[in-house]
């Protein structure tokens, strides 16, 4: 995933947490906010409570992979952060894919058909 699609700075995260809106399902939480770019930007947050370094890295990589596969469905002009909750650890790729699409649709970040 290219750098311009990623949220990196601590200030960006804090800004979205403070001024953005949030939705959630059982496995994920999404914070999102309009931006002035012509593409979306993604941040991923996995707490230390979720597991050890291997588990956290796996969650991050799988989420990156899922979002990359659905880049064309995601509406531009959004910054959003995906936060992983504990039940997501035991899901496989396809279940996570469904769950993430569900939560993004709830947040109305996905493009309408």
Partner RNA sequence: AAAGUUUGACGAACAAUCGCUGGAGAUGAGAUAUUCUCUAGAGGAAAGUCCGGGCUCCAUAGGGCAGGGUGCUGGAUAACGUCCAGUCAGCGCGAGUUGAAGGAUAGUGCCACAGAAAUGGACCGCCGAUGGCAUACAUUGUAUGCACAGGUAAGGGUGGAACCGUGGUGUAAGAGACCACGAGGAUUUAUGGUGACAUAUUUCCUGGUAAACCCCACUUGGAGCAAGACCUAAUGAAAUGCAGUGAUAGGAUAAUCACAACCUUAGCCCGAGGUGCAUUUAGGUUGGUCGCUUGAGCUGUAUAGCAAUAUACAGCCUAGAUAGAUGAUUGUUACUUCAUUGGUGGGAGGGUUGACCCCCAUUAAUACCACUGGAAGGCACAGAACCCGGCUUAUGGCAAACUUUCCAA
Partner RNA sequence: GCGCUCGUGGUCCAAUGGAUAUGACGCAGGUCUCCGGAACCUGAGAUCGAGGUUCAAUUCCUCGCGAGCGCG
In the bound state with RNA, the residue whose beta carbon lies nearer, of 39 and 69, is 69
Rounded to a whole number of angstroms, the minimum distance from the CB of residue 56 to RNA is 8
CA distance 94 to 24: 18
Closer to RNA at the Cβ: 7 or 88?
7
Query: Cβ 26 to RNA, closest distance in Å?
Result: 20
The SS3 of residue 39 is: coil
Residue number, 54 or 113, with CB nearest to RNA? 54
Residues in contact with RNA by the rule CB under 7 A:
1-3, 6-10, 13, 43, 45, 52-54, 57-58, 60-62, 65, 68-69, 92-94
CA angle, corner 74, sides to 73 and 79, nearest 5? 170
Query: Which residues have CB under 8 Å from 48's CB, separation 6+?
Result: 56
Token look-up 């992979």 returns 65
């Amino acid at each position: 995933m290219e750098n311009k699609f990623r949220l990196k700075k601590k200030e960006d995260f804090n800004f979205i947490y403070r001024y953005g809106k949030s939705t959630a399902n059982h496995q994920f939480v999404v914070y999102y906010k309009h931006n002035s770019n012509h593409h979306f930007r993604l941040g991923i947050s996995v707490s230390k409570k979720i597991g050890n370094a291997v588990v956290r890295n796996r969650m991050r990589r799988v989420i990156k992979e899922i979002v990359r596969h659905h880049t064309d469905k995601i509406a531009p002009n959004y910054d959003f952060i995906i936060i992983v909750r504990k039940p997501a650890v035991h899901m496989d790729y396809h279940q996570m894919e469904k769950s993430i699409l569900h939560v993004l649709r709830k947040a109305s970040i996905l493009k309408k058909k």
